[in-house]
Structure 1
Amino acid sequence: MKIIEPSSTLEEQINGMELIKKVERAGRTCYKSEDQISEVTAMNFVKKIITSGHESVLEHEKITVRVVCDRGVSHEIVRHRIASYSQESTRYCNYSKDRFNNELTFIKPYFWEDDSKQSKEKYLIWKSTMETIEKNYFELIKLGAEPQQARSILPNSLKTEIVMTMNLREWRHFFRLRTTLSAHPQIRQIARPLLDKFKEVIPVVFDDIEY
């Protein structure tokens, strides 16, 4: 059994300035103000369309991200409908094979990480349960069960990888929902660092979203 932390990575190198310049070129069509485009106008233009609520212009550009999380978090991610997803399939992945190191991988539940006696007890219960699930999963496979049958005992804590592509407007929607205190703590663990990364590489578009 393997226990890992969740993570996210950009699937492509992003040139943030070029991205918002493309948004500007598309958006200025609405006003037929293409003659006003210069090397320094994109940031102000994009800031103005966000302030005015004209966010449909942001749909012209997209970003693809690879997320490693647990199955429970992935169920929340795919509820964002204006997106494309490719996810690790428990129907076809046989975790008893060498390419999976003959083990199940689980995402560590970080909310039981403090040093209190109660948290330690909760974590040990979780860990013991995952060990039992792994043992029984491999026993089912050994008895001839197909992965799509054996997966019925796999838990929300099972690690999954999901590649997700959203346009910039939908990413804004995603971050507004998934970085707040009302969001599930494990999806915040993914969304907040990812928002920080987006702000780092893309000017203006996400600056107004705070957590």
Structure 2
Amino acid sequence: MNVKFIYPSFEVDMYGETGIDKLKRIEQVGRTCYRSQDKITDDSYERFVRMIMKNNHTAIIEFASFGVKFICDRSVSHQLVRARLASFAQQSQRYCDYNDCMTFIIPVWADNIKPTEVDTSNYNTKLFRNYTLTEHTWFNAAINSALTYKSLRGSLKPEEARSFAMAGLKYNSLLSWVVYAFWFFFSEKVFSALGVREGVPLSTLPHAL
């Protein structure tokens, strides 16, 4: 059985539009409300959207959306689903079979653990050479979790064996946001409270759009 260790990450799906396209759509919708379509120019969208945000006219911003795929661990995914409003789809441990390979997300505090793939039947203990005691303990727990799962899969279905997979297991979560909900998620009120920064480099996400 192979066990992989990777860093958390994300992928942005703009649904075939650029960020400027989305801002222009917001302006087109908003100008309808204010009956000022004749004021639309090639670069008027920025000033208009800033005005909308300042006036807290958030209904207009809901007309632009995009998706994000989070590659994170299972525990972080449970934090993400609390971040309403959004549409969610998640990898199902009930149907996914990890019998041949398990992938774990390297914790942000594990500075010495690097992305790697391990053959559990014959792996080099030199991997541990630079690990701290805590890192070594976590790494061994991941390996043992994978081996326990594989052993149980001999007699149990994936949905039954999944309870023995540790929370650090790689998990794919897809969220579809309207722009306002995205902004709300990254406000201090929500983002800092959820603690999701522990598992996904979310602070870089706004700059990726």
Q: Is the shorter-chain TM-score for this pair beyond 0.5, marking a shared fold? A: yes
Deviation of 1:7 after TM superposition, in Å, equals 0.8
Confirm or deny that 1:49 pairs with 2:16: no
Greater share of helix:
1
Q: Residue 24 of structure 2 corresponds to which residue in structure 1?
A: 21
What TM-score do you get using the length of structure 1 for normalisation? 0.83
The RMSD of aligned alpha carbons is 2.3
Q: Residue 129 of structure 1 corresponds to which residue in structure 2?
A: 141
Q: Residue 37 of structure 1 corresponds to which residue in structure 2?
A: 40
CA contact (8 A) 1:179 1:191 kept: no
- Provide the rounded CA distance (Å) in 2 between the counterparts of 1:17 and 1:184: 28
Deviation of 1:11 after TM superposition, in Å, equals 2.4
What TM-score do you get using the length of structure 2 for normalisation? 0.83
Write the mapping of 1:96-115 to structure 2, written as runs, cut at 5 A. 96=99, 102-113=100-111
Q: 2:71 aligns with which of 68, 72, 77?
A: 68
CA contact (8 A) 2:9 2:72 kept: yes
- Provide the rounded CA distance (Å) in 2 between the counterparts of 1:73 and 1:184: 6
CA contact (8 A) 1:7 1:69 kept: yes
Give the 3 Å change call, closer, same or farther, for CA 22–184 of structure 1 in structure 2: closer
Residue identity opposite 2:39 in structure 1: Q
Write the mapping of 1:128-207 to structure 2, written as runs, cut at 5 A. 128-142=140-154, 144-177=155-188, 180=192, 183-187=195-199, 189-198=200-209
Residue identity opposite 1:60 in structure 2: F
Runs of 4+ off more than 6 Å = none
Residue identity opposite 1:172 in structure 2: W
Specify which structure has the bigger relative contact order, considering alpha-carbon pairs within 8 angstroms and separated by 6 or more residues. 2
Deviation of 1:64 after TM superposition, in Å, equals 0.8
Superimposed CA distance per residue, residues 128-181 of structure 1 (whole angstroms, 9 cap, x where no aligned partner): 111111111000001x20000000111210101111100000000112246549
**Unmatched 5+ stretches in structure 1:** 97-101, 199-211
Residue identity opposite 2:106 in structure 1: K
- Provide the rounded CA distance (Å) in 2 between the counterparts of 1:175 and 1:93: 31
- Provide the rounded CA distance (Å) in 1 between the counterparts of 2:208 and 2:165: 32
Q: 1:2 is paired with a residue of what secondary structure?
A: strand
Residue identity opposite 1:103 in structure 2: C
Q: 2:97 is paired with a residue of what secondary structure?
A: coil
Q: 1:74 is paired with a residue of what secondary structure?
A: helix
Q: Residue 123 of structure 2 corresponds to which residue in structure 1?
A: none
CA contact (8 A) 2:6 2:103 kept: yes
Query: Which deviates the most, 47-56 or 167-176?
Result: 47-56
- Provide the rounded CA distance (Å) in 2 between the counterparts of 1:44 and 1:121: 54
Residue correspondences, number: 190
**Unmatched 5+ stretches in structure 2:** 114-130
